[in-house]
Structure 1
């Protein structure tokens, strides 16, 4: 096996994650983009997400995640009333190689961003036609 030129995310401790990293590395046709998100890069990503100041900027970051890592972010109002940012469903698409901690930390960073900038939360609600006609 040849050593990749791009640093890949280190493996999680056994039993601590369900990322299926080994199966992804064994598949010669697998999309390894998600493994480029090292812990250092993940920290930079989380800091970047927390400093987002507008809805279009949030959408651009989501688009870049999809382009560069193959991960989709879904942000939608929950099935019940949205009174706080906890009422939003924020999910990363499930895919092999995506660490469990990352699937938890990215939505948490988005919630921090929404706490700091409620106008982004209102824009998300508006994008889902919850404020249409008002």
Structure 2
């Protein structure tokens, strides 16, 4: 007999706009597998990026396992700090408000800790080709 996968506890009423109650049974419910403990592990992993390939691998794993699409690109203006890099999560039912804030913040901290990853990201978008 297999036990069901643990699911995230619902947010208090009125505290979140995740739309958890509108999720239908099916593949979109996989976002509920991201428990608070797993979210802490994810944030820690995102803060300790090794290189650009590691970041891209984490992006693909987030989509494969939880359906979370993360887009990371240089902003429209000059990129002078890590705030100039735009990190967006696609809108998704069941994705908690706090998680939507924690993932980009963790990626930004990871880029600040390892600026070589940010430089490679900028280079991948051809911003440093003439430097």
TM-score scaled by length of structure 1: 0.91
Structure 1, unaligned stretches of length 5 or more?
none
- Report the Cα offset of residue 29 of structure 1: 4.2
Number of residue-to-residue matches in the alignment: 129
Partner of 2:16: 17
* Alpha-carbon displacement from aligned partner over 1:51-88 (angstroms, at most 9, x marks no partner): 11111001101110010001111001111110000111
Q: What is the TM-score when the length of structure 2 is the normalising length?
A: 0.93
User: The residue matched to 1:49 in structure 2 has which SS?
Assistant: helix
RMSD: 1.3
Q: Match of 1:68?
A: 65
Q: 1:129/1:113 Cα in 2 relative to 1: closer, same or farther (>3 Å)?
A: same
Partner of residue 89, structure 2: 92
1:111/1:20 Cα in 2 relative to 1: closer, same or farther (>3 Å)? same
1:30/1:78 CA distance change after superposition, 3 Å: same
Residues 86-117 of structure 1 show CA distances to partners (whole Å, capped at 9, x for unaligned) of 11110111100001110100110011111111
For the residue of structure 1 that corresponds to 2:28, the secondary structure is coil
Alpha-carbon separation, structure 1, partners of 2:99 and 2:120: 25
Q: Are 2:100 and 1:103 equivalent residues in the alignment? A: yes
Matched, 1:57 2:54: yes
